C-alpha cells in the first residue's frame, strides 16, 4: 500500500481500496500502539462491571404512545439522567450540513445532553465521496495515527474493519458492559435474535452498539419489477403469473402501444437495475451481485455460485427469447438512470425492472393523480418448472456501524457510553434522533388512524428528513423494528410512498426463498481479503458480460459450446478458491 | 483610399474566423449551458429540455445557496486561503527558484535533488496526517495552507526562468558594481521577475481555490471550510450511490435527489465565477511567464 501511495499521494481511491480490503499495512503498528498504551486502563471493559448489579428497564412512560397490538419494538420509558457531566466524550460523526447542520448546535444534541446528563463533543468527518459512495480516508487517518476519539457514531466502517481493529485492541468489546448497563439493548437482542451474530467479530466478541432499521419493503426491493396497470387494462391484460404470460403481455404492449406515445418502451431495465435480480428468480434463487461479490447462495450449507448453474442457463434462454421478440434490446443494459426517468416522466414506460418509482420518475410528485401511481409491483412470475422466488433479504435490518456506536480503547469510561447508547434505543430517543423536535416535526399517532402496515398508528411526522439542525438523521444507534416502521401514520388524503411500498413488500413476501438458502453477510478474514476482492471482480466481469451476450444473442444459450465456454471461465479464475473463502467464513461465523 | 485585401487574404480570414468561431462555440457552450441550467426548473433539467436558454426560469437554486450560511463562510474562507496561499507559495518559490538557479551555490545539485525527492517518493496520507497532528496544526487554518504551500513544479519553472533571464554575465556585472547577494536578488532579479511572479500567484491561487482535500483531511471545524469543501460536502450528501438503492430509505434517496437536482449547476457557477473574473488580469503574464520558464 505504501507503494501505491508513493506514486499517487493524494488519491483517496488507493487508500479506500486498501481499507476496503481490510486494513492498511501502515495502520497496523500504530493501532497496536494504541492498544498497548491504553489497553491496561480499559482492557476488554469487564473491569468496569465488577460488583455492579445489572440495570433494569424503567417503567413505560405515561405520556408515551398507544402501542398497536401485537407490537415488537422500542418503547418510550421513563429515563432519568445518569451522567454527572464530569467527562466530556469525544465522538467522531459524519458531516451532514443539510440535515444535521452543526452537531454542536443541533437541537437533538441539546435534548440528549439533558436526557442523559452526558456531555459529548462531536468531531465531524466527511465520510462520503462526491459520487455518494463511502469514503473512509479521514477515518482511516484518525485510526492509524493513534489519535483516537472516545467513539465513532454513524461512521460506515465495514464489519471486517470493526472485527480487525477490535481484535487489534483499538475498539472496546461491549458484551460484558451490555449485561450490566444496557437493559434496552438486552431486550433488543432478545427480540431480534440474529442481531448479535450479524455484528459480532470473528473472535465472537461484540465491538459495537449495533442498530436495527428494519425496512419491510427493502427486503425485496433489489429484485422488484413494476408494471403500468392502466396500460395493462388498455390491452386487456391481467397481472402475469408465469414467465410466458409476462412475455405475452409485453408483446401486447409492443403491438398495441397503450401509451399512444411514440418511443414507447414496453420493457425497461438499465444500469443500476440489473435484469437478473428479477428474472433469474423464476428459474432459481439467485441473490444480487456486484463487483465486490454476490450471486452466492447456500445449498444444504454449501456455498455455490448461481451464475454457472443449469437453471441460470434456462433463464438466459428466456431472456434470449425476449430479445428475439424485440422486447429486450441493448437498451436494457445501457440505459442510464436519467434516460429511464425521462422515459418514465413522459409515460413511455410499460414494464420496468427497477427499485422503485423514483428509478423511472424524477421528480416523484405526491399529487393524487400523479403518473407514477399507475405502476404496481409485479410479484415474481412462475418459470416453466414452477419456480418463483422473490430474492428476499433476511439480513438487511442490521445497520452495522453506519447506524451504531463503536467505542474505542481510548475511552476511559466505556460504561457511560454504553448506557448512553442504550438510551438511544428508547422509542422517544429514536424519534428525536431521526425525526427532530417533538410536537414540532413529529407526534405520537392519532388514536383512530392507521399506520402503513394497516394496524394502529404509532407516530406521525410532518416531514422527513426533519428541517435542518433538528435531528441526527440516521446516525445514532437505533432500534427501528418492523412494527415501529409499520406504525408510521398514513394520511389517507395525501398518501406518500410508504404505504405503496409496504404493499409491494407484502406482494413479494409469499415468494421469499427459505432463509437457509441466503448466504448471510460474512467477515472475510484479512489474509484472504485481497484474493476475494480480485476474484469477485473477475466473477462480476464474467457474469455481467455473459448476461448481456446471451440475452442479446451475441452468444446462444441453446448452444452447448457457448455455455461450456462461459462456465469454463469461472474455473480459470479459480472460483473454487473464492467459494472456499466464503465457505470457511460461513462455517466459522459468529453465532 | 483603402487597400483592398486580396482574394486569398479574404479567404484566409474567412477560414480563420470560421475555425476560431467553431472553437469559441465549443468552449462557450458548456459555460452557457451550465449558467442556463442553473436558472432553470429542476423538472426541465430532468427531462432534458434545456438546450441553450433557461427553461422555466427560476432562481430557487441560488436562493438555496444563499440561505446556506456555510457557503458564505466558505466563500470568505476561500478568498482568505487563496490570497494567503498565493503570497506564501510565490515568496517561497521565487526565493528557492532564484537560489537554485545560481551556479555558484555550493551543493546546488544536492539541494535540488533533495527538493525533488518528495515529488518522486511521497509518504502518503497517513504519515502526512501524523505530521500535521504532531505539529499541532490539526483544525487550524494553517493545516489548509501549509501542506501544499510550495510546489516543486513551480520551483523548477521559476529556476529555469532565472537561469535564462538572470544569466551569469548579469550576475558578474552586478558583482563588479559592488552588489552583494541580497541586492543582487532584490535590485536585479526581482524587478525582472514580474511575469514569473504573476504565474506563481495564479497557479498557487488557483490550486488553493480548487482544493478541498486539505480541509477534508486536517480540519473538523466547519467554520474553517473553504468553499470547495462545502461544495464537496453538498455534492457528497446529495449523491445517490447504487449501493444505497439496496438498503436505503426511499425518502432519503428522494430528498438527496431533489437537493442534487436543485443545486448541482448553481454550485458550479458559484465556484467558477471568481477564477473566471481573475483570469483575464493575469493571463497576459501567464502565457509569457509559463512559456519562458518552460523552455529549456
pLDDT tens per residue, range A259-300: 999 999 999 998 888 999 999 999 999 999 999 999 999 999
What pLDDT is attached to residue B244?
54
Find out whether A15 and B125 touch, Cβ atoms under 8 Å.
yes
pLDDT band at A21 (very low <50, low <70, confident <90, very high): very low
Find out whether B158 and B123 touch, Cβ atoms under 8 Å.
no
Find out whether A293 and A158 touch, Cβ atoms under 8 Å.
no
Strand partners, A228: A375
Q: How distant is the alpha carbon of residue B233 from its chain centre?
A: 19
∠ CA B55-B60-B62, nearest 5°, is 105
- Mean pLDDT, rounded, for B21-26: 94
Which residue of B46, B124, B220 is in closest CB contact with A125? B220
Which residue of B220, B242, B244 is in closest CB contact with A124? B220
Mutation target vs A (from B126, B152, B252; most A CBs, 10 A cutoff)? B126
Looking at the complex, report in whole angstroms how far the Cα of residue B5 sits from the nearest Cα belonging to chain A.
52
Strand partners, A351: A227, A267
Alpha helices in A439-493 (DSSP H): 482-486
Nearest to A150 by CA among A205, A209, A204: A209
**DSSP element (H, E) containing A351:** strand A349-352
**DSSP element (H, E) containing A89:** strand A88-94
CB contact, 8 Å: A130 with chain B?
yes
Would the CB atoms of B252 and A465 count as touching at under 8 Å?
A: yes
pLDDT band at A369 (very low <50, low <70, confident <90, very high): confident
User: Taking CA atoms, what residue in B is nearest to A354?
Assistant: B245
CB contact, 8 Å: B230 with chain A?
yes
What pLDDT is attached to residue B290?
56
CB contact, 8 Å: A531 with chain B?
no
What pLDDT is attached to residue A587?
95
Find out whether B286 and B199 touch, Cβ atoms under 8 Å.
yes
pLDDT band at A494 (very low <50, low <70, confident <90, very high): confident
What is d(CA A578, CA A570) in angstroms, rounded to the nearest whole number? 10
Mutation target vs B (from A6, A8, A9, A91; most B CBs, 10 A cutoff)? A9
- Mean pLDDT, rounded, for A452-469: 89
Q: Which chain A residues touch B232 with a CB distance below 8 Å?
A: 126, 130
Phi then psi for residue A205, to 5 deg, are: -110, 155
- How many A×B Cβ pairs under 8 Å? 154
- Mean pLDDT, rounded, for A523-546: 94
DSSP string, B91-131: HHHHHHHHHHH-TTSTTHHHHHHHHHHHHHS---HHHHHHH
pLDDT band at B287 (very low <50, low <70, confident <90, very high): low
- Taken in order A15, A17, A22, A26, the sign of the CA dihedral is negative
Q: Which chain A residues touch B251 with a CB distance below 8 Å?
A: 464-465, 496-498
What is d(CA B194, CA B161) in angstroms, rounded to the nearest whole number? 11
Looking at the complex, report in whole angstroms how far the Cα of residue B207 sits from the nearest Cα belonging to chain A.
14
Q: SS3 sequence, A44-71? A: CCHHHHCCCCCCCCCCECCCCCCCCCCC
Looking at the complex, report in whole angstroms how far the Cα of residue B114 sits from the nearest Cα belonging to chain A.
16
Q: Which is more confident, A424 or B165?
A: A424
Would the CB atoms of B247 and A396 count as touching at under 8 Å?
A: yes
Average pLDDT, chain A: 88
Q: What is the pLDDT of residues B45-85, one digit of tens each?
A: 777 777 888 888 878 778 877 777 788 889 899 999 999 99
What is d(CA B195, CA B201) in angstroms, rounded to the nearest whole number? 10
Per cent of chain A over pLDDT 70 is 92
Q: What is the pLDDT of residues B92-125, one digit of tens each?
A: 999 999 999 988 889 998 988 988 888 888 878 8
User: Taking CA atoms, what residue in B is nearest to A24?
Assistant: B126
Would the CB atoms of B247 and A215 count as touching at under 8 Å?
A: yes
Would the CB atoms of A97 and B230 count as touching at under 8 Å?
A: yes
Quick one: DSSP state of residue A347?
Answer: T
- Mean pLDDT, rounded, for B7-16: 90
Q: What is the pLDDT of residues B166-225, one digit of tens each?
A: 888 888 888 888 888 888 889 888 888 888 898 899 889 989 999 999 999 999 888 899
Which residue of B70, B255, B257 is in closest CB contact with A362? B257
pLDDT band at A582 (very low <50, low <70, confident <90, very high): very high
Q: Which chain A residues touch B125 with a CB distance below 8 Å?
A: 5, 9-10, 12, 15, 137, 140-141
Does A249 have pLDDT greater than 60?
yes
Quick one: DSSP state of residue A455?
Answer: S
Residue B22 CB: number of other CB atoms within 10 A?
10
What pLDDT is attached to residue B69?
73
Nearest to A512 by CA among A296, A239, A216: A216
What pLDDT is attached to residue A153?
97
Which residue of A12, A130, A215 is in closest CB contact with B239? A130
What is d(CA A474, CA A460) in angstroms, rounded to the nearest whole number? 17
pLDDT band at B232 (very low <50, low <70, confident <90, very high): confident
Would the CB atoms of A131 and B68 count as touching at under 8 Å?
A: no
Would the CB atoms of A137 and B42 count as touching at under 8 Å?
A: no
Q: Which is more confident, B172 or A209?
A: A209
Lowest mean pLDDT segment, chosen from A35-39, A254-258, A530-534: A35-39
pLDDT band at B241 (very low <50, low <70, confident <90, very high): low
What is d(CA A291, CA A544) in angstroms, rounded to the nearest whole number? 10
What pLDDT is attached to residue A145?
86
Q: What is the pLDDT of residues A306-354, one digit of tens each?
A: 999 999 999 999 999 999 999 999 999 999 888 898 899 999 999 999 9
Q: What is the number of H-type helices and E-type strands within chain B? A: 16, 0
- Radius of gyration in angstroms for the set of CA atoms belonging to chain A, rounded to a whole number: 25
- Mean pLDDT, rounded, for A523-541: 94
What pLDDT is attached to residue A195?
95
Interface of B with A in 246-265 (CB under 8 A): 246-259, 261
Would the CB atoms of B46 and A363 count as touching at under 8 Å?
A: yes
What is d(CA A367, CA B41) in angstroms, rounded to the nearest whole number? 18
What is d(CA A166, CA A498) in angstroms, rounded to the nearest whole number? 38
Instruction: Determine the 3-state secondary structure of A511 from DSSP.
Output: helix
Q: Which residue has the cell 405503496?
A: A500
Instruction: Determine the 3-state secondary structure of B249 from DSSP.
Output: coil
Burial A120-156 (b: 16+ CB within 10 A, else e): bebbbbbbbbbebebbbbbbbbbbbbbbbbbbbbbbb
CB contact, 8 Å: B44 with chain A?
no
Interface of A with B in 363-402 (CB under 8 A): 363-364, 393, 396
Would the CB atoms of A138 and B217 count as touching at under 8 Å?
A: yes
Q: Which chain A residues touch B214 with a CB distance below 8 Å?
A: none
Would the CB atoms of A464 and B255 count as touching at under 8 Å?
A: yes
User: Strands (DSSP E) along A198-295, which ranges?
Assistant: 212-213, 226-228, 265-268, 289-290, 293-294
Does B248 have pLDDT greater than 60?
no
Nearest to B214 by CA among B131, B97, B95: B131
Which domains, from first to last, does chain A contain?
2-73+84-217+397-490 (3.40.190.10), 221-391+518-587 (3.40.190.10)
Interface of A with B in 559-588 (CB under 8 A): none
Does A230 have pLDDT greater than 80?
yes
Nearest to B267 by CA among B296, B219, B230: B230
Q: Which is more confident, B70 or A195?
A: A195
Per cent of chain A over pLDDT 90 is 73
Alpha helices in B146-193 (DSSP H): 152-165, 168-176, 181-183, 190-192
Would the CB atoms of B234 and A97 count as touching at under 8 Å?
A: yes
Q: What is the pLDDT of residues B268-286, one digit of tens each?
A: 888 888 888 877 877 777 6
Find out whether A553 and A562 touch, Cβ atoms under 8 Å.
no
Which domains, from first to last, does chain B contain?
1-58 (no CATH), 68-294 (1.10.3720.10)
What pLDDT is attached to residue B288?
62
Q: Which chain A residues touch B128 with a CB distance below 8 Å?
A: 9
Would the CB atoms of B126 and A141 count as touching at under 8 Å?
A: yes
Strand partners, A480: A213
Lowest mean pLDDT segment, chosen from A360-369, A423-432, B145-154, B240-249: B240-249
pLDDT band at A3 (very low <50, low <70, confident <90, very high): very low
What pLDDT is attached to residue B1?
52
What pLDDT is attached to residue B7?
84
Quick one: DSSP state of residue A483?
Answer: H
Which residue of B129, B245, B256 is in closest CB contact with A141? B129
Amino acid at each position: 500500500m505504501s507503494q501505491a501511495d508513493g506514486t499517487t499521494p493524494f488519491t483517496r481511491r488507493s487508500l479506500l481500496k486498501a481499507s476496503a480490503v481490510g486494513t492498511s499495512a501502515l495502520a497496523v503498528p500504530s493501532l497496536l500502539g494504541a492498544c498497548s498504551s491504553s489497553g491496561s486502563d480499559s482492557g476488554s471493559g469487564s473491569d468496569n462491571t465488577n460488583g455492579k448489579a445489572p440495570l433494569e428497564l424503567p417503567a413505560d412512560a405515561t405520556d408515551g404512545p398507544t402501542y398497536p397490538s401485537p407490537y415488537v419494538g422500542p418503547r418510550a420509558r421513563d429515563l432519568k439522567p445518569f451522567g454527572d457531566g464530569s467527562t466530556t466524550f469525544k465522538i467522531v460523526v459524519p458531516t451532514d450540513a443539510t440535515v444535521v447542520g452543526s452537531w454542536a448546535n443541533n437541537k437533538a444534541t441539546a435534548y440528549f445532553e439533558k436526557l442523559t446528563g452526558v456531555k459529548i463533543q462531536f468531531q465531524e468527518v466527511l465520510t462520503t465521496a462526491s459520487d455518494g459512495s463511502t469514503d473512509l480516508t479521514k477515518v482511516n487517518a484518525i485510526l492509524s495515527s493513534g489519535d483516537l476519539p472516545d467513539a465513532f457514531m454513524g461512521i460506515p466502517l465495514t464489519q471486517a474493519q470493526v472485527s480487525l481493529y477490535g481484535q487489534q485492541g483499538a475498539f472496546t468489546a461491549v458484551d460484558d458492559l451490555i449485561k450490566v448497563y444496557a437493559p434496552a439493548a438486552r431486550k433488543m437482542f432478545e427480540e431480534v435474535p440474529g442481531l448479535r451474530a450479524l455484528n459480532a467479530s470473528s473472535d465472537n466478541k461484540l465491538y459495537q452498539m449495533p442498530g436495527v432499521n428494519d425496512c419491510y419493503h427493502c427486503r425485496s426491493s433489489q429484485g422488484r419489477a413494476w408494471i403500468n396497470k392502466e396500460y395493462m387494462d388498455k390491452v386487456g391484460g391481467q397481472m402475469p403469473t408465469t414467465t410466458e404470460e409476462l412475455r405475452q403481455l409485453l408483446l401486447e404492449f409492443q403491438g398495441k402501444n397503450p401509451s399512444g406515445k411514440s418511443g414507447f418502451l414496453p420493457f425497461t431495465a438499465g444500469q443500476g437495475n440489473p435484469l437478473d435480480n428479477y428474472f433469474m428468480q423464476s428459474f432459481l434463487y439467485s441473490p444480487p451481485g456486484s463487483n465486490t461479490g454476490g450471486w452466492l447462495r447456500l445449498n444444504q450449507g454449501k456455498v455455490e455460485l448461481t451464475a454457472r448453474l443449469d437453471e441460470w442457463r434456462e433463464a438466459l434462454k428466456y431472456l434470449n427469447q425476449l430479445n428475439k421478440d424485440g422486447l429486450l434490446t441493448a437498451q436494457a443494459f445501457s440505459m442510464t438512470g436519467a434516460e429511464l426517468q425521462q422515459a418514465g416522466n413522459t409515460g413511455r414506460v410499460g414494464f420496468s425492472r427497477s427499485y422503485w418509482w423514483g428509478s423511472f420518475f424524477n421528480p416523484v410528485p405526491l399529487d393524487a393523480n400523479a403518473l407514477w401511481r399507475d405502476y404496481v409491483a409485479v410479484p415474481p412470475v412462475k418459470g416453466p418448472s414452477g419456480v418463483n422466488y422473490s430474492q428476499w433479504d433476511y439480513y438487511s435490518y442490521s445497520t452495522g456501524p453506519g447506524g451504531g456506536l463503536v467505542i474505542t480503547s481510548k475511552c476511559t469510561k466505556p460504561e457511560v457510553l454504553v448506557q448512553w447508547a442504550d438510551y438511544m434505543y428508547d422509542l422517544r430517543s429514536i424519534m428525536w434522533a431521526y425525526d427532530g423536535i417533538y410536537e414540532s416535526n413529529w407526534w405520537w399517532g392519532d388514536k383512530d388512524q392507521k399506520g402503513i402496515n394497516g394496524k394502529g398508528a404509532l407516530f406521525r411526522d410532518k416531514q422527513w428528513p426533519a428541517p435542518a439542525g433538528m435531528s441526527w438523521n440516521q446516525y445514532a444507534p437505533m432500534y427501528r423494528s418492523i412494527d415501529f416502521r409499520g406504525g408510521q401514520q398514513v394520511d389517507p388524503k395525501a398518501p406518500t410512498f410508504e404505504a405503496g411500498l409496504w404493499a409491494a413488500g407484502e406482494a413479494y413476501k409469499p415468494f421469499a426463498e427459505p432463509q437457509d438458502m441466503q448466504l448471510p453477510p460474512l467477515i472475510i478474514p484479512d489474509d484472504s481479503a485481497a484474493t476475494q476482492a480480485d476474484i469477485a471482480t473477475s466473477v462480476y466481469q464474467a457474469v455481467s458480460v455473459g448476461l448481456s451476450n446471451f440475452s442479446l444473442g451475441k452468444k446462444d444459450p441453446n448452444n452447448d459450446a457457448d455455455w461450456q465456454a462461459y462456465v469454463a471461465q469461472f474455473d480459470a479464475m479459480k472460483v473454487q478458491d473464492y467459494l472456499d473463502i466464503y465457505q470457511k467464513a460461513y462455517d466459522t461465523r459468529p453465532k | 483610399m483603402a487597400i483592398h485585401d486580396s482574394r486569398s487574404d479574404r479567404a484566409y480570414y474567412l477560414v480563420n474566423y470560421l475555425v476560431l468561431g467553431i472553437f469559441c462555440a465549443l468552449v462557450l457552450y458548456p459555460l452557457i449551458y451550465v449558467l442556463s441550467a442553473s436558472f432553470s426548473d429542476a423538472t426541465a433539467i430532468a427531462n432534458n429540455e434545456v438546450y441553450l436558454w433557461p427553461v422555466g426560469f427560476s432562481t430557487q437554486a441560488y436562493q438555496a445557496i444563499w440561505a446556506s450560511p456555510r457557503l458564505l463562510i466558505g466563500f470568505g474562507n476561500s478568498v482568505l486561503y487563496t490570497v494567503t496561499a498565493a503570497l506564501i507559495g510565490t515568496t517561497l518559490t521565487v526565493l528557492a527558484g532564484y537560489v537554485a538557479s545560481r551556479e555558484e551555490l555550493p551543493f546546488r545539485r544536492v539541494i535540488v535533488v533533495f527538493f525533488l525527492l518528495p515529488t518522486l517518493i511521497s509518504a502518503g496520507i497517513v504519515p502526512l496526517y501524523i505530521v500535521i497532528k504532531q505539529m499541532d496544526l490539526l483544525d487550524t487554518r494553517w493545516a489548509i495552507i501549509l501542506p501544499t504551500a510550495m510546489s516543486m513544479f513551480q520551483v523548477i519553472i521559476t529556476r529555469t526562468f532565472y537561469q535564462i533571464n538572470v544569466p551569469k554575465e548579469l550576475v558578474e556585472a552586478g558583482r563588479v558594481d559592488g552588489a552583494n547577494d541580497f541586492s543582487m536578488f532584490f535590485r536585479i532579479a526581482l524587478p525582472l521577475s514580474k511575469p514569473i511572479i504573476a504565474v506563481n500567484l495564479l497557479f498557487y491561487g488557483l490550486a488553493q481555490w480548487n482544493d478541498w482535500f486539505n480541509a477534508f483531511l486536517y480540519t473538523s471545524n466547519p467554520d474553517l471550510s473553504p468553499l470547495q469543501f462545502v461544495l464537496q460536502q453538498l455534492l457528497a450528501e446529495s449523491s445517490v450511490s447504487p449501493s444505497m438503492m439496496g438498503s436505503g430509505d426511499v425518502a432519503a434517496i428522494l430528498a438527496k435527489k431533489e437537493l442534487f437536482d436543485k443545486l448541482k449547476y448553481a454550485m458550479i457557477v458559484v465556484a467558477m465565477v471568481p477564477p473566471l473574473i481573475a483570469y483575464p488580469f493575469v493571463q497576459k503574464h501567464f502565457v509569457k511567464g509559463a512559456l519562458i520558464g518552460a523552455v529549456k
